Each structure stands twice: as structure tokens, then as C-alpha cells.
Structure 1
Amino acid sequence: MKIFILIATLIVILVLLTIFRRTGRRLTERQIISSQQAVNAAMNAALHELDASLGVKTSDKQFRSTLVANIWGHEVMAFEFSIPIERAVNRDILRKQLNDDLIAYTRANGMKSFDADEPAMLITDLWFDNKQPLVHIDVAHICNAETLSYLHDLRCLNQLD
């Protein structure tokens, strides 16, 4: 009888753990989708505000991002865009212009950052593809502690200005 109770207790615990894990995963997936939609809208607005002399090809096409590799951990809201360009330009000027446009967009739309000392969205990396006429742009949506820690890690690695 004691073994039966022990086995039943273990089964109940395993079922509960499975339910909690699946619920947590679904919540994280919903947060990622919501954050990605916000970042896509902000970047599309920022890209259409860019000066044509910066060489970025903007059209009526809506650019979509992909989730940055999950090596930093779960719930890091960082996304990558691959944008066609006419030519490579000064990356610092392009990065500053995009960051300024993202800040303006997030303020105009009432988007708040997890940390008052950080903007709601920030370009974390920008590089030009050597094989194709593309610029790769990573954008972090600083809406949770995990993404803020990701920014801190990038700064410690000197990969973020």
C-alpha cells in the first residue's frame, strides 16, 4: 500500500510539473510573439524614416525579424533583421539614426522600457554582409529582466556601444 501511494504521488508530481512547464512555455511564446510584432512595427517605421543617402533599400515591403539565437537564455527579446542595401555606409551613422528613430517611435507609441535608464528598443548589433548586399541589424526590446541582462552581457563583452 505504501508503494502504491508513493508511486501515485510521484505520478501526480510529474503530471503537475509537465502542466506547469507547458503553461510557462506557452506564456513565453506569447511574450516573444508580442515583442517581435512590436519590434517589427518599430523597425519598419524607423527604416522608412531613414535618409535615402544611407543606402538602405526601403520599399512598401514590411520587413520581418527572426529571433536572435537562444544561446543567451529564454525570454531574451532580441531579434535580427536582414535588410537589402544599395551600398555599405558608415555603420555608426546608420546605427545612430536607427536608434534615434526607434526611440522616437517607442515614445510616440507609449512603449516603456523595463529599466528607466535604457530605451525601450535598442540596436545591439549592425553589420554588413560580405556575400550579399544586406545589412544585418539586431534589435533588443528591453521589456524584461532577461533582456536587460543580455544588454549588460553585451556591454561587458564590448559588443555594444
Structure 2
Amino acid sequence: MILTIQIIIGLAAAFAVYNLIHYLFVTRPSRKRLLASQRTVNKAVIEVIKTLISTNKLAPINEAELHSEMIANIWGRGVMAFEYHLPIDRVRVPIPELKALLGKELAVYSDKNGIHAHGRGSSAFVVTDIWQLDDRLHFDVAYLINLTTVEYIDDLNRLH
């Protein structure tokens, strides 16, 4: 009986220690990298949106109307990709043209700020998808800062 209790306590302690170590050395640092990447991409997208507003491709947008969400939970740990959405009534160009404009302006921002893709000399930001759902325009931006995200983009390109 005592041996059984010791085994149960030992297993519970091992489980607790494993979870603590996993949180401290995997989950927490990964979350910090993801949040830092989201701040970088948010800054780039806000600058690009301001540029598109100044060229009359978009109607004025408050920063509060532009929302971003992490999509790493869907595609896997380490994928630095974020979904943005804004009111569709602010868009003054066709959606495919807006995707091209976003990609072009993000490349300009990337070059201007010396932010380059992991293992490539190209832009660190890629618009992977854009669509309209109800009264919102959604678009995904990937930040090619690590190999996982580069492989994610390569996989998406194979699908198209």
C-alpha cells in the first residue's frame, strides 16, 4: 500500500516538474517570440495602411478598427503569421488589387527598415491570403523570421 502511494506521489511530482520545465523553457519563450513578432508586423501593417490611405486606396481607418490575431495556434508552434481585419467599407480598390498593393508596400517597408526574410534577401512580410467575410476584410500576413514560417509559406505556395 505504501509503495503504491509512493509511486502515485512520484508520478505526480514528475508530471508537475515536466510541465514546469516545459512551460519555462518552451512555452514561455515561444510566446514571447510570437508577441514580439506580432508587434513588429503590427507596426509594418499600420505604416502600410497609412501609406494606402494617403494614396486614396483606403478610406481613413482608426488604429482601433484594425485588429490582428495570431494564427499560430492553427498552423503550429513557431509560425509567425497574423490575421488582420478591417471594415470593408474602407476599401476603395478591388480586393485582388489590394492584396498586391499590401504585398508591394510591405516589401518597401521591409527594405526601408532592413528587415529581411530568414535565409533570403527578400521581404520579411508576405500577404498569404485575403478575403471578405460579411462586412469585414480579412488578410493574413506572415513574418518570415524563422525557418518554420518560411516552410509554412512554401507549403502554401505548393497548394496554389
| TM-score above 0.5 | yes
Give the partner amino acid of 2:77. H
Corresponding position: 1:85 with 2:84: no
Q: Which runs of 5+ in 1 are unaligned?
A: none
Q: In structure 2, what is the Cα distance between the partners aligned to 1:117 and 1:111?
A: 9
SS in 1 for 2:138: strand
- 1:48 is aligned to 2:50: yes
Equivalent position amino acid for 1:85 in 2: I
* Residue 21 of structure 2 corresponds to residue 17 of structure 1: no
What amino acid sits opposite 1:123 in the alignment? Answer: V
Alpha-carbon distance in 2 for matches of 1:44, 1:22: 32
| CA-to-aligned-CA distance 1:90-125 (integer Å, 9 cap, x gap) | 223211211111111122222221131542011000
Matches of 1:14 and 1:110 in 2, distance apart?
44
Take 2:155 and 2:92, find their aligned partners in 1: how far apart are those partners? 28
Q: 1:126 aligns with which of 130, 139, 144?
A: 130
Question: Given residue 106 of structure 1, which amino acid in structure 2 is its aligned partner?
Answer: S
1:55-78 CA-partner distances (Å, limit 9, x unpaired): x33334253310126232111111
Mark the runs of 5 or more structure 2 residues left unpaired by the alignment.
none
**Counterpart in the other structure of 1:58:** 60
In 2, Cα distance between equivalents of 1:80 and 1:103: 18
**Partner SS, residue 111 of structure 2:** helix
Structure-2-length-normalised TM-score = 0.80
Q: Aligned AA for 1:21?
A: H
Count of aligned pairs: 151
Alignment RMSD: 2.4
Amino acid at match of 2:21: F
Contact preservation (8 Å) 2:59, 2:92:
no
Structure 2 residue aligned with 1:146: 148
**Aligned counterparts of 1:157 and 1:69: Cα–Cα separation in 2:** 19
Structure 1 contact 75–146 (Cα < 8 Å) conserved: yes
For the residues of structure 1 that align with 2:111 and 2:21, how far apart are their CA atoms? 36
Give the deviation of 1:11 after TM superposition: 6.9
Q: Is the 8 A contact 2:42 2:68 kept in 1?
A: yes
Find the residue that maps to 1:81 and give its secondary structure: strand
SS at match of 1:137: strand
- What is the DSSP-based 3-state SS (H/G/I as helix, E as strand, rest coil) of the residue aligned with 2:155? helix
Instruction: Report if the CA contact (8 A) 1:115-1:142 is conserved.
Output: no
Letter in 2 for 1:78: A
